Amino acid sequence: MRQFVKFGIVGLSGFFVNLIVFTVLQRLVPHHEQPTQYYIIYSASFLSGGVSNYYFNRVWTFRSTGHAFREGTQFLTVSAIALAVGLVVSALVSPYLGHGHKTWFIATLAGIVVNFFLNKYWTFKHVS
């Protein structure tokens, strides 16, 4: 339970990194409401939150001393899977909610669930 709470705290910080990057990019990229631009912005913001999450989950949540490159590769793979889930959810939800923060929020929540379970039971499975 303690690990899950820590994962949640780290995830919350990554969530805010993701939100900030998404919001900034949305203001900088012209025609951000078009699907192609939205998916690029969504992907960049999601992965930026993922990078910060990897670092803090490795050193604080799971206190891993495993091989950093292997874990980083696994974490990146999990992030890519979670990103794919988020993009699918975005595609399903956006016809009803548009390509804004509501769709981003729902898609990001779907990615968080995938992220936790795959990282806990694959990336950091060797950590007790």
* 13 occurs within a structural domain: yes
Number of structural domains, the chain? Answer: 1
CA distance 92 to 50: 23
Q: pLDDT tens, position by position, for the chain (128 residues)?
A: 788 789 889 989 998 999 999 999 999 988 777 888 888 998 999 889 988 989 998 999 889 888 998 998 998 899 889 989 999 999 999 999 988 889 989 998 898 889 888 988 999 888 75
Residue 23 is part of which domain span? 2-123
CA distance 57 to 27: 30
* 24 occurs within a structural domain: yes
Q: Where are the alpha helices (DSSP H) in 29-126?
A: 35-56, 68-97, 101-118
* 38 occurs within a structural domain: yes
* 128 occurs within a structural domain: no
Residue 65: CB atoms within 10 A of its CB come to 11
* 21 occurs within a structural domain: yes
pLDDT in tens, 26-39: 999 887 778 888 88
* 67 occurs within a structural domain: yes
* 75 occurs within a structural domain: yes
